[in-house]
Structure 1
């Protein structure tokens, strides 16, 4: 592994295809024989530091259509949190089901799961039939793994019945020194970014792009008022930038003064600190409080000069969904993914039905959408929202922090990269965007 890393650090990318690939590599894993370790505990009490391991695992060989990548950096997403606490179910069920579809997929059904759905790195080996990429290419990866053997997937790959999220529903993910991906997951690494900055955007930026901009999502247009929950978080920080970049008016909802300031640094002017203003949308575990919906809606109109949101960017789920349906304008759209606070959504259907609102479900992005989202990063129109970076050895601690919302933006992980700041090949472009690239780096992840 050291010879591969030395070649990359020396900029000798053309040589990596000639170097031997090690038989084993280090990866962040969960273990199938530990999936019951948190039984009977509330989700918030489950500790990823107990379930995540840094193991030596066997190196998979790329099959047809696959690529083996030397991972320089990766990132923490909520799906890694879910994997680590075995919610809503252990991911080994995903691996088992995937393993049954073909001999090639059977390699993923293992007693350990290498996690991670982001990466930046360098192509080492290409399987049979891969023509778009070569050893030495500097790449980032999006996390859609799809078989495309069913007609439904050819209109939109996200509708393919064998669509999966790499590193969550498949094995050999990006929180590791090596990763196995399909060739059609790869995209060019933005040249003005470091390895850790380039790795930060793949999952969340693509998800936000489909959710807000794509014709499969809310179809954001200039002048739209967009309510964005968790606007300084991994997903919300990209939604805020996409709204601003598209001429919309974001109303950013956050949970602390520091997170409010992060939104203002992105250029957002309308910010609600829900903790400071004391919004409590549930009276108790079973009963929502419509008075709080009305108070929240009035606050939005106060900020916007009387406008209700054309689009509500939903991802907290259970805690906020009733309020989201209520505050959307007549004929407006609630576009939903994730559900980080719970999957069982309850809302008053009168406000949906009688006011002709729409709920749209979205999930990650197809290759074209991910490519367009990455292109915005490469062009410098949208920027990484990296707030903290940890070495691979401290991944479990970082996942624990994300589990408890002690972060803003994205938390990056150095895999093979020995330090931050490496991998920039267009310093002039970087200099033009340095302030925007670093605007989330003003505070550690615990803020």
Structure 2
């Protein structure tokens, strides 16, 4: 079996449906039935929806489980470098052999019927999870929640809704309330949901849907509180107070994500050994990740290189706050974005901090904004901008003018994946 077998199958799966995204559960239910309904045989499921913070929350939860001596399956998307990153079996990335086997089985069971790439690969992940022993299953929603392919577990152990903000409006709705309604679609009768910090408009929708389906809520600011104090993270709920190290993942927004995780671990009855592990052992690539190896680091030995895959307005705000907390240093951005995003809204919070922006297109991604379009958006947000042919060329241009610059490569997880392929 060649190492390219899964890639060949995945390429075929891309052509099974004319749309990349087509939100409905009908095709998923059909294929799961043909596979023997693996979603009914999973270890206890924690189902995670939200706009920002889903991946970081999942990473901290997994670290917490492992710190308590437990194992967890984990499903996330998109991947950065290899598809295998989407599926962890009992903590380990799925092997090429195991991935190829479940993809083969799903392709055969589907019988050439129309189904999206995300739907059929989600079914493959559920099949792999059902066949491998673990203590928990972490399922991250791909898009929305109500009609997402992951929303097929009747009785999860817990649900989580991280902060909801504007993103994917063409699929989820044009208002925060409409988007929150889609996220709240993961709520289940009798299943507690941990709710992260929300705008009032979003929280009202989540609370209304919870009352309708009979889902108990544990809400940030009502049932639990979290924040930094004297260089530590303090969490408090009705059980008591926790005094813990700050999260390993950078940024003020990670304090809130950590609070969600601690509330979840408490609700699940995990021991105290899980709490500190969740905060101090979590790793999540392309979330304000420092690049210290590879060709880019070698080309800019005196520069400070960072990578972040955030791409919506809320991510821009969080990133600006994080950068503002770093020791002062001239900041230069290298940015590439998709044409489904709002580049001006994303970049505007960064404008007061950035001395310049080099715009790039994202190689091999048909939905990329051109470098010219991204540069125009940067100028509209108040950043001096120019175009570059590649990330390498952009880094070279920046360090030629300022060798010790702080350089942030940002705007898209797809761009981050390309960077990590050679510099991870």
What's the TM-score, normalizing by structure 1? 0.28
Choose between structure 1 and 2 for higher RCO, CA contacts under 8 A separated by at least 6 residues: 1
Question: Normalising to structure 2: TM-score of the pair?
Answer: 0.29
Name the structure where helix makes up a greater proportion of residues.
2
More strand by share: 1
